[in-house]
């Protein structure tokens, strides 16, 4: 399943990224399901959600 392995690669990169890169990845990656976006959010610092909201704004 190529799509799932691609998501796993995105997820691993996201886990290792700094805050700015996480924001960039979350706002620019395309083609993910709602569940996959939720999975990424599990690895985003809760106290920084305001910055993510601004970037998506």
> Helix (H) and strand (E) counts for the chain?
4, 0
Specify the pLDDT at position 11: 98
Q: Is the pLDDT of residue 2 over 80?
A: no
Tens-digit pLDDT profile for residues 31-42: 999 999 999 999
Q: Is the pLDDT of residue 3 over 80?
A: no
What average pLDDT does range 35-53 have in this prediction?
98
Q: Are 16 and 44 in contact (CB under 8 A)?
A: no
Backbone φ and ψ for 30, nearest 5 degrees, come out as -120, 155
The domain total for the chain is 1
Long-range (24+ apart) CB contacts under 8 A made by 1-6 are: 3/31
Domain that holds residue 7: 2-56
- pTM of this prediction exceeds 0.85: yes
């Amino acid at each position: 399943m190529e799509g799932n392995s691609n998501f796993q690669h995105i997820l691993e990169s996201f886990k290792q990224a700094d805050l700015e890169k996480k924001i960039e990845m979350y706002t620019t990656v395309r083609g993910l399901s709602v569940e996959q976006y939720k999975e990424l959010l599990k690895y985003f610092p809760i106290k920084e959600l305001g910055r993510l909201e601004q970037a998506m704004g």
